[in-house]
Amino acid sequence: MTRELNIIGLLGMGLILVTLGFAAMRENDRREAVALEQREEAVVMATTLYAENCVICHGSQGEGIAANPPLNSEGVREMDETTLYNTIARGRYGTIMAAFSAEEGGIFTSQQIEALMVLIQYGSWGYVAEVVDAMGLTPPEMVTIDVSEEVLTSISALPDGDALGAGLTLYADHCVACHGANLEGTAIAPALTPATRNYLDMTRIINEGVTGTLMASWDKTFTDEEVNTLITFITRWQEIQFAGIELPTIEVPTIDMSPAAIAEGQRLYSLLCTQCHGTQGYGTPLAPALNNQVFLADTPNAAIQQIIAGGVSGTAMPAWAGYLSEANIAAITAFIRSWEPNAPPIVTP
């Protein structure tokens, strides 16, 4: 009798345990579902923050633009959480990666920073790119040149030509926008040839950048070997020239100069630029004149677009790419260009 009771008791106990087990499983599922939902909410919120504040440097796919590192890499996804948090909250000292936490003078709460971390760790960059595009905030593409197989073959036929070719490939993807397809320089950056710097100086400048100028630090983008390859290319550039090998020219996208585009540019300019550059573009004590022959004749549209998008680091000139679309920037450029026929030769603000 007692034995039977015991067995029934045991059975009952077993039943309770099984039921509890199921309940616990359901509770886990529920928690997971809640966590997933919270994660999704965080990603949605963070995507807007990302579009408005990070896309200009880290790209709409997290691919990293110019010298700014990618965020879509395994390394960043798996970075320990404290380091990731601190990077966004406090920035990286001595680089253009700014501190974003309100406590550090930035604009984000810790909840917003945590949402950005969730985006980086679990988000889908395809989704981010779609949202950024829908918001009209896709940054303008960097100007690059495509080096053909033919050119690379001719270069590799030169003495130690493979190193030259490798350098050219890196240069074409990362440096032509500012230093020109033939290292001749542009309105926004000096010529690199003939090389006026020794090897050590060039290594330092490429790795560390020049603060207060558009020359960024590239040490996160390139290995030491790649920097060496670039310097080899710069110092041996004349060998390519002497061999008569022609490089493609930079195709500058033409901008729409229609009255509608110029009017849109004028609207944006009055909204965003007059406070520093003056209503007529004659400059103010805060910023130089844009409406003058010297500036307009020397500065191609692509350079103007690049300056507006990227700003001039270390000066009051902001980077607008996170706020303005490529079309907006082209429209402003059209408006500035429309001054050229009547611009005074030189203006001192």
Does position 42 interact with ligand HEC (CB under 6 A)? The reply is: no
Q: For residues 32 and 224, which CB has a smaller minimum distance to ligand HEC in the complex?
A: 224
Q: Which of 181, 287, 330, 331 binds ligand HEC (CB under 6 A)?
A: 287
Does position 115 interact with ligand HEC (CB under 6 A)? The reply is: no
What's the CA gap between 298 and 188, in Å, rounded? 10
Contacts of 312 (CB under 8 A, 6+ apart): 212, 213, 214
Shortest separation between residue 114's beta carbon and ligand HEC, angstroms: 11
What's phi and psi for 105, nearest 5 deg? 90, 5
Shortest separation between residue 21's beta carbon and ligand HEC, angstroms: 41
Residue in the block written with tokens 């995507």: 47
Q: Which of 220, 250, 280, 327 binds ligand HEC (CB under 6 A)?
A: 220
Does position 200 interact with ligand HEC (CB under 6 A)? The reply is: no
Contact 55, 132 (CB under 8 A): yes
CB neighbour class for 79 (10 Å; exposed up to 12, middle 13-18, buried from 19): middle
Shortest separation between residue 324's beta carbon and ligand HEC, angstroms: 7
Does position 292 interact with ligand HEC (CB under 6 A)? The reply is: no
Residues paired with 101 in a beta bridge: 108
Q: At what angle do helices 259-272 and 326-337 cross, to 10 degrees?
A: 100
User: Taking CB under 6 A as the criterion, which residues in 78-97 touch ligand HEC?
Assistant: 84, 87-88, 92, 95-97
Contacts of 251 (CB under 8 A, 6+ apart): 145
The region of 25-33, 36-44, 123-131, 316-324 touching ligand HEC under the rule CB under 6 A is 316-324
Q: For residues 5 and 316, which CB has a smaller minimum distance to ligand HEC in the complex?
A: 316
What's the CA gap between 72 and 50, in Å, rounded? 13
Total site size for ligand HEC, rule CB under 6 A: 60
Contact 46, 119 (CB under 8 A): yes
What's the CA gap between 302 and 237, in Å, rounded? 24
Q: What are the residues binding ligand HEC (CB under 6 A)?
A: 53-54, 56-58, 66, 68-69, 71, 76, 84, 87-88, 92, 95-97, 100, 116, 174-175, 177-179, 188-190, 192, 196-197, 202, 205-206, 210, 213-215, 218, 220, 230, 272-273, 275-277, 286-288, 290, 295, 304, 307-308, 312, 315-318, 320, 332
